Structure 1
Amino acid sequence: MEYQFIRDPIAGLKVRISDEQALIARWLNEELDKSEVAELVARCHMMTKGQPAWVRLGNEIRFTLNADEALFEAHALFQEGDDISQYADDALELDDHGLVAGCGFEDFVALLMAWQAFIAGK
Protein backbone atom coordinates (compact mmCIF):
# COMPACT_ATOMS: atom_id res chain seq x y z
CA MET A 1 0.00 0.00 0.00
CA GLU A 2 1.35 3.38 -0.99
CA TYR A 3 0.65 6.39 1.18
CA GLN A 4 1.99 9.85 1.84
CA PHE A 5 1.95 11.86 5.05
CA ILE A 6 1.47 15.61 4.78
CA ARG A 7 2.14 18.44 7.22
CA ASP A 8 -0.18 21.19 6.07
CA PRO A 9 0.04 24.45 8.02
CA ILE A 10 -3.68 25.03 7.55
CA ALA A 11 -5.24 21.54 7.51
CA GLY A 12 -2.77 19.94 9.93
CA LEU A 13 -1.43 16.41 9.68
CA LYS A 14 -2.98 14.34 6.89
CA VAL A 15 -2.44 11.04 5.13
CA ARG A 16 -3.07 10.55 1.42
CA ILE A 17 -3.61 7.08 -0.08
CA SER A 18 -4.42 5.92 -3.62
CA ASP A 19 -7.96 6.42 -4.94
CA GLU A 20 -9.05 2.81 -4.46
CA GLN A 21 -8.13 3.04 -0.77
CA ALA A 22 -9.06 6.67 -0.19
CA LEU A 23 -11.63 5.64 2.42
CA ILE A 24 -8.78 4.43 4.65
CA ALA A 25 -7.16 7.87 4.47
CA ARG A 26 -10.51 9.51 5.16
CA TRP A 27 -10.94 7.31 8.24
CA LEU A 28 -7.46 8.17 9.56
CA ASN A 29 -7.91 11.88 8.83
CA GLU A 30 -11.49 12.34 10.01
CA GLU A 31 -12.67 9.44 12.16
CA LEU A 32 -9.64 8.39 14.21
CA ASP A 33 -8.55 10.93 16.77
CA LYS A 34 -4.78 11.20 16.97
CA SER A 35 -4.96 10.44 20.70
CA GLU A 36 -6.48 7.02 19.88
CA VAL A 37 -3.66 5.79 17.64
CA ALA A 38 -1.57 4.23 20.44
CA GLU A 39 -4.62 2.36 21.73
CA LEU A 40 -5.33 1.03 18.25
CA VAL A 41 -1.71 -0.11 17.85
CA ALA A 42 -2.05 -2.02 21.13
CA ARG A 43 -5.31 -3.57 19.90
CA CYS A 44 -3.52 -4.73 16.74
CA HIS A 45 -0.87 -6.44 18.84
CA MET A 46 -3.61 -8.18 20.84
CA MET A 47 -5.21 -9.28 17.57
CA THR A 48 -2.11 -11.35 16.78
CA LYS A 49 -2.69 -13.24 20.03
CA GLY A 50 -6.11 -14.51 19.00
CA GLN A 51 -8.46 -11.70 20.02
CA PRO A 52 -11.72 -11.85 18.03
CA ALA A 53 -12.67 -9.34 15.36
CA TRP A 54 -13.32 -5.79 16.52
CA VAL A 55 -15.78 -3.31 15.02
CA ARG A 56 -15.70 0.45 15.56
CA LEU A 57 -18.61 2.54 14.33
CA GLY A 58 -17.55 6.04 13.45
CA ASN A 59 -19.59 9.02 12.31
CA GLU A 60 -19.46 8.00 8.65
CA ILE A 61 -17.29 4.87 8.45
CA ARG A 62 -17.49 1.44 10.03
CA PHE A 63 -14.06 -0.08 10.73
CA THR A 64 -13.66 -3.84 11.18
CA LEU A 65 -10.36 -5.33 12.24
CA ASN A 66 -9.48 -9.01 12.42
CA ALA A 67 -6.26 -10.99 12.23
CA ASP A 68 -6.46 -11.12 8.43
CA GLU A 69 -7.59 -7.68 7.32
CA ALA A 70 -8.78 -4.19 8.08
CA LEU A 71 -12.08 -3.32 6.39
CA PHE A 72 -13.56 0.16 6.02
CA GLU A 73 -17.18 0.62 4.96
CA ALA A 74 -19.03 3.90 4.58
CA HIS A 75 -22.37 3.99 6.38
CA ALA A 76 -23.95 4.98 3.04
CA LEU A 77 -23.69 1.31 2.01
CA PHE A 78 -26.19 0.37 4.68
CA GLN A 79 -28.87 2.94 3.87
CA GLU A 80 -32.15 1.16 3.38
CA GLY A 81 -34.41 4.19 3.38
CA ASP A 82 -34.23 4.75 -0.38
CA ASP A 83 -36.23 2.47 -2.63
CA ILE A 84 -33.84 2.06 -5.53
CA SER A 85 -36.17 -0.34 -7.34
CA GLN A 86 -37.89 2.70 -8.84
CA TYR A 87 -34.73 3.33 -10.86
CA ALA A 88 -34.56 -0.20 -12.34
CA ASP A 89 -35.83 0.99 -15.73
CA ASP A 90 -32.93 3.41 -15.95
CA ALA A 91 -30.39 0.57 -15.54
CA LEU A 92 -28.94 2.34 -12.52
CA GLU A 93 -27.20 0.48 -9.75
CA LEU A 94 -25.50 1.38 -6.51
CA ASP A 95 -21.83 2.02 -7.15
CA ASP A 96 -19.74 1.15 -4.12
CA HIS A 97 -16.58 2.81 -5.46
CA GLY A 98 -15.18 4.87 -2.65
CA LEU A 99 -17.57 3.35 -0.13
CA VAL A 100 -15.52 0.24 0.70
CA ALA A 101 -11.79 -0.21 1.17
CA GLY A 102 -9.67 -2.83 2.78
CA CYS A 103 -6.12 -3.95 3.26
CA GLY A 104 -4.26 -6.84 4.77
CA PHE A 105 -3.66 -6.84 8.50
CA GLU A 106 0.13 -6.50 8.19
CA ASP A 107 -0.19 -3.59 5.74
CA PHE A 108 -2.62 -1.85 8.07
CA VAL A 109 -0.34 -2.29 11.09
CA ALA A 110 2.61 -0.91 9.09
CA LEU A 111 0.52 2.10 8.01
CA LEU A 112 -0.75 2.67 11.55
CA MET A 113 2.71 2.51 13.10
CA ALA A 114 4.13 4.86 10.45
CA TRP A 115 1.19 7.24 11.10
CA GLN A 116 1.87 7.05 14.84
CA ALA A 117 5.54 7.94 14.31
CA PHE A 118 4.59 10.77 11.92
CA ILE A 119 2.10 12.42 14.27
CA ALA A 120 4.60 12.08 17.13
CA GLY A 121 7.08 14.04 15.00
CA LYS A 122 9.62 11.24 14.64
Structure 2
Amino acid sequence: MEYQFIRDPIAGFRVRMSEEHALVGRWLNDELPLNDIAGFIEKMSTVKQGTEELKLEGKEVRLTLSKDEALFEAHTLFQNDVDLSRYEDDLLELDEDGLMAGCGFEDFQALMHDWNRFVQSRR
Protein backbone atom coordinates (compact mmCIF):
# COMPACT_ATOMS: atom_id res chain seq x y z
CA MET A 1 0.00 0.00 0.00
CA GLU A 2 1.51 3.30 -1.09
CA TYR A 3 0.77 6.56 0.68
CA GLN A 4 2.10 10.05 1.17
CA PHE A 5 1.38 12.35 4.10
CA ILE A 6 0.97 16.08 3.53
CA ARG A 7 0.55 19.06 5.82
CA ASP A 8 -1.39 21.50 3.70
CA PRO A 9 -1.58 25.07 5.11
CA ILE A 10 -5.23 25.34 4.09
CA ALA A 11 -6.65 21.80 4.34
CA GLY A 12 -4.47 20.65 7.25
CA PHE A 13 -3.17 17.10 7.52
CA ARG A 14 -3.96 14.94 4.50
CA VAL A 15 -2.96 11.58 3.14
CA ARG A 16 -2.72 10.67 -0.54
CA MET A 17 -3.01 7.04 -1.47
CA SER A 18 -2.83 4.97 -4.60
CA GLU A 19 -6.03 4.80 -6.65
CA GLU A 20 -6.65 1.26 -5.43
CA HIS A 21 -6.71 2.47 -1.80
CA ALA A 22 -8.20 5.95 -2.34
CA LEU A 23 -11.19 5.11 -0.14
CA VAL A 24 -8.82 4.33 2.75
CA GLY A 25 -7.30 7.78 2.30
CA ARG A 26 -10.74 9.35 2.18
CA TRP A 27 -11.61 7.62 5.45
CA LEU A 28 -8.42 8.92 7.11
CA ASN A 29 -8.92 12.44 5.77
CA ASP A 30 -12.64 12.80 6.42
CA GLU A 31 -13.83 10.23 8.96
CA LEU A 32 -11.16 9.77 11.65
CA PRO A 33 -10.64 12.86 13.82
CA LEU A 34 -6.98 13.76 14.29
CA ASN A 35 -7.40 13.84 18.06
CA ASP A 36 -8.70 10.24 18.05
CA ILE A 37 -5.87 8.49 16.18
CA ALA A 38 -4.19 7.13 19.33
CA GLY A 39 -7.53 5.92 20.72
CA PHE A 40 -8.31 4.19 17.45
CA ILE A 41 -4.91 2.45 17.48
CA GLU A 42 -5.77 1.11 20.96
CA LYS A 43 -9.06 -0.25 19.63
CA MET A 44 -7.13 -1.91 16.81
CA SER A 45 -4.95 -3.80 19.29
CA THR A 46 -8.02 -5.20 21.05
CA VAL A 47 -9.41 -6.35 17.69
CA LYS A 48 -6.13 -8.11 16.89
CA GLN A 49 -6.21 -9.98 20.22
CA GLY A 50 -9.92 -10.81 20.22
CA THR A 51 -12.41 -12.57 18.02
CA GLU A 52 -14.79 -9.67 17.43
CA GLU A 53 -14.87 -7.27 14.52
CA LEU A 54 -14.96 -3.52 14.89
CA LYS A 55 -17.50 -1.72 12.69
CA LEU A 56 -17.38 2.04 12.39
CA GLU A 57 -20.11 3.83 10.48
CA GLY A 58 -18.77 7.15 9.28
CA LYS A 59 -20.53 9.91 7.41
CA GLU A 60 -19.71 8.38 4.03
CA VAL A 61 -17.56 5.29 4.66
CA ARG A 62 -18.00 2.15 6.76
CA LEU A 63 -14.92 0.45 8.19
CA THR A 64 -15.07 -3.21 9.16
CA LEU A 65 -11.91 -4.24 10.97
CA SER A 66 -11.14 -7.86 11.80
CA LYS A 67 -7.92 -9.45 13.02
CA ASP A 68 -7.13 -10.31 9.40
CA GLU A 69 -8.19 -7.30 7.33
CA ALA A 70 -9.58 -3.78 7.12
CA LEU A 71 -12.50 -3.35 4.71
CA PHE A 72 -13.72 0.09 3.65
CA GLU A 73 -17.09 0.46 1.92
CA ALA A 74 -18.74 3.66 0.75
CA HIS A 75 -22.34 4.03 1.92
CA THR A 76 -23.30 4.52 -1.72
CA LEU A 77 -22.98 0.75 -2.17
CA PHE A 78 -25.89 0.18 0.21
CA GLN A 79 -28.45 2.59 -1.20
CA ASN A 80 -31.21 0.27 -2.30
CA ASP A 81 -33.93 2.91 -2.47
CA VAL A 82 -32.79 4.18 -5.88
CA ASP A 83 -34.17 2.20 -8.79
CA LEU A 84 -31.24 2.11 -11.21
CA SER A 85 -33.32 0.33 -13.86
CA ARG A 86 -35.01 3.61 -14.77
CA TYR A 87 -31.64 4.85 -16.06
CA GLU A 88 -31.05 1.87 -18.38
CA ASP A 89 -32.10 3.86 -21.44
CA ASP A 90 -29.36 6.39 -20.70
CA LEU A 91 -26.80 3.58 -20.35
CA LEU A 92 -26.05 4.74 -16.81
CA GLU A 93 -25.03 2.37 -14.07
CA LEU A 94 -23.41 2.53 -10.66
CA ASP A 95 -19.64 2.50 -11.02
CA GLU A 96 -18.39 0.54 -8.03
CA ASP A 97 -14.72 1.36 -8.64
CA GLY A 98 -13.42 3.35 -5.72
CA LEU A 99 -16.38 2.50 -3.52
CA MET A 100 -14.68 -0.41 -1.79
CA ALA A 101 -11.10 -0.98 -0.65
CA GLY A 102 -9.36 -3.39 1.64
CA CYS A 103 -5.99 -4.29 3.02
CA GLY A 104 -4.43 -6.68 5.49
CA PHE A 105 -4.57 -5.87 9.19
CA GLU A 106 -0.79 -5.50 9.52
CA ASP A 107 -0.58 -3.10 6.57
CA PHE A 108 -3.41 -0.99 7.98
CA GLN A 109 -1.85 -1.03 11.44
CA ALA A 110 1.47 0.18 9.99
CA LEU A 111 -0.37 2.96 8.12
CA MET A 112 -2.11 4.05 11.32
CA HIS A 113 1.15 4.14 13.31
CA ASP A 114 2.86 6.13 10.53
CA TRP A 115 -0.10 8.53 10.32
CA ASN A 116 -0.07 9.05 14.09
CA ARG A 117 3.70 9.76 14.11
CA PHE A 118 3.34 12.20 11.21
CA VAL A 119 0.49 14.14 12.83
CA GLN A 120 2.14 14.23 16.28
CA SER A 121 5.51 15.36 14.93
CA ARG A 122 4.03 18.34 13.07
CA ARG A 123 1.64 19.80 15.62
TM-score by length of 1: 0.92
Gaps of 5+ in 2: none
Q: Aligned partner of 2:3: which letter? A: Y
Number of residue equivalences: 122
> Does 1:39 pair with 2:39?
yes
Looking at structure 1, the residues matched to 47 and 57 of structure 2 have their Cα atoms a distance apart, in angstroms, of: 18
Gaps of 5+ in 1: none
Q: Counterpart in 1 of 2:79? A: 79
For residues 21-100 of structure 1, the aligned pairs below 5 Å read 21-88=21-88, 92-100=92-100
Q: Aligned partner of 1:84: which letter? A: L
Give 1:91 shift: 5.1
Q: Aligned partner of 1:62: which letter? A: R
Give deviations 1:1-46, integer Å, cap 9, x for gaps: 1100001111111110001111110110011001111111111111
Give 1:94 shift: 2.1
Secondary structure of the residue aligned to 2:98 is: coil
Give deviations 1:67-89, integer Å, cap 9, x for gaps: 11111111111111211122345
> Does 1:3 pair with 2:17?
no
Give 1:51 shift: 3.8
Q: Counterpart in 1 of 2:103? A: 103
Q: Percent identity?
A: 53
Secondary structure of the residue aligned to 1:48 is: helix
Give deviations 1:89-110, integer Å, cap 9, x for gaps: 5554322111111111000000
Secondary structure of the residue aligned to 1:120 is: helix
Higher deviation after alignment, 54-63 or 86-95:
86-95
Higher deviation after alignment, 80-89 or 29-38:
80-89
Structure 1 runs of 4+ aligned residues shifted over 4 Å read 89-92
